[in-house]
Amino acid sequence: MSTMRSHGCQTYGQYLIWISRAGQTGINEFVECMTTNTTEFFRESAHFDILRDLTGGRGPQQFNQDRLADKSEIRIWCAAASSGQEPYTILMSLLAELEIIRQFPEIKFLATDIDRSMLDHASRGIYSQSEVRSLPSEFQRKWFRPLASPSDENPRFLANAALRDSITFAPLNLFDTPYPFKHLFDVIFCRNVLIYFDRPTSQKVVAEMARHLRPGGFLFLGHSEAGVIRPDNMKAVANAVYRKDS
Ligand SMILES: C[S@@+](CC[C@H](N)C(=O)[O-])C[C@H]1O[C@@H](n2cnc3c(N)ncnc32)[C@H](O)[C@@H]1O
């Protein structure tokens, strides 16, 4: 409402007219108001242990047959990436595992969101003290550097260029099917966004994602979404993690 009023609009109809006149700026602002961008590093952290198991094949038997580390390249898509904490967590977890087992496939990493202001934040890779609080200290030390002196009251932390440059950040509205990808992904993360869609839309998005997964590839949903959405032709292999049939 405050956004509407700031443009002198008293009704939704007036606001709609303002958006259509303001063009892309109006649309961006509307999207920012309508979306919830809550996220954090290592959110629903069990998923990153599973990702490491998938990568190095060190987890349950079912993951050994298909070690990501054995591929010449790993393709990952993080949909609804918000301000970047999720894709950076995925990448740091993968790299940690690959360093331990000393195998280094090329990583092709796409992170998308509908909200361009979040993508800007993500690609800048700058986070506040409270945002980095959920990062284990070894990851913070290794991958982030403080931008100001230790006495600064509001220190901010910059993600290492090696992390930032490894991820392509791009806008994508999950409603816009079919998605324009040429290659299949090994892993797709789509967490904590489908809960905001109605069920037919969520099912459609998941079906479209399945189409862009290679056989044997993995889809990660949010923990609260797993009970509601049932991906077809995929087997649940862990909480909210699905493997596409080979
Ligand atoms: C609650 S955040 C979740 C972020 C992250 N996936 C996580 O689990 O921490 C939801 C994100 O979905 C994005 N989003 C909402 N609707 C979308 C749509 N139709 N297409 C793409 N992204 C969307 C929002 O901009 C927001 O960044």
Q: Which CATH number is 186's domain given?
A: 3.40.50.150
> Do 98 and 135 form a contact (C-beta atoms < 8 A)?
no
Residue of 113, 189, 205 to test ligand 1 pocket, by largest number of atoms within 8 Å of CB: 113
Q: What is the average per-residue pLDDT within 177-185?
A: 97
CA distance linking residue 135 with residue 151, whole number of Å: 21
**Is 197 within a domain?**
yes
Separation in Å, CA 240 to CA 68, 111, 126, 227, 243: 19, 20, 29, 8, 10
Domain that holds residue 215: 38-126+158-244
Summarised one tens digit per residue, pLDDT across range 28-63 is: 666 666 668 899 999 999 999 999 999 988 776 656
Q: Would you give the end-to-end CA distance of the chain in angstroms? A: 49
Residue 152 DSSP one-character state: -
Range from 27-36, 177-186, 201-210 carrying the lowest mean pLDDT: 27-36
The structural domain count of the chain equals: 2
Q: Are residues 105 and 27 in the same domain?
A: no
Residue of 82, 89, 188, 202 to test ligand 1 pocket, by largest number of atoms within 8 Å of CB: 82
Q: 237 CA distance to ligand 1 centroid (A)? A: 24
Q: Are residues 18 and 84 in the same domain?
A: no
Return the amino acid letter for 78: C
**Is 96 within a domain?**
yes
**Is 137 within a domain?**
no
Q: What does the pLDDT read at residue 73? A: 96
- Is the shortest distance between the CB of 233 and ligand 1 below 6 Å? no
pLDDT over 90 for what percent of the chain?
A: 72
Q: What does the pLDDT read at residue 95? A: 97
Q: Are residues 44 and 6 in the same domain?
A: no
**Is 136 within a domain?**
no
Range from 179-188, 213-222, 229-238 carrying the lowest mean pLDDT: 229-238
CA distance linking residue 128 with residue 85, whole number of Å: 12
Q: Are residues 12 and 48 in the same domain?
A: no
Place of tokens 């509407």: 4
* Helical (H) or strand (E) element with 208: helix 199-211
Residue 151 DSSP one-character state: T
- Is the shortest distance between the CB of 36 and ligand 1 below 6 Å? yes
Q: Are residues 120 and 1 in the same domain?
A: no
Q: What is the average per-residue pLDDT within 221-238?
A: 90
CA distance linking residue 198 with residue 146, whole number of Å: 41
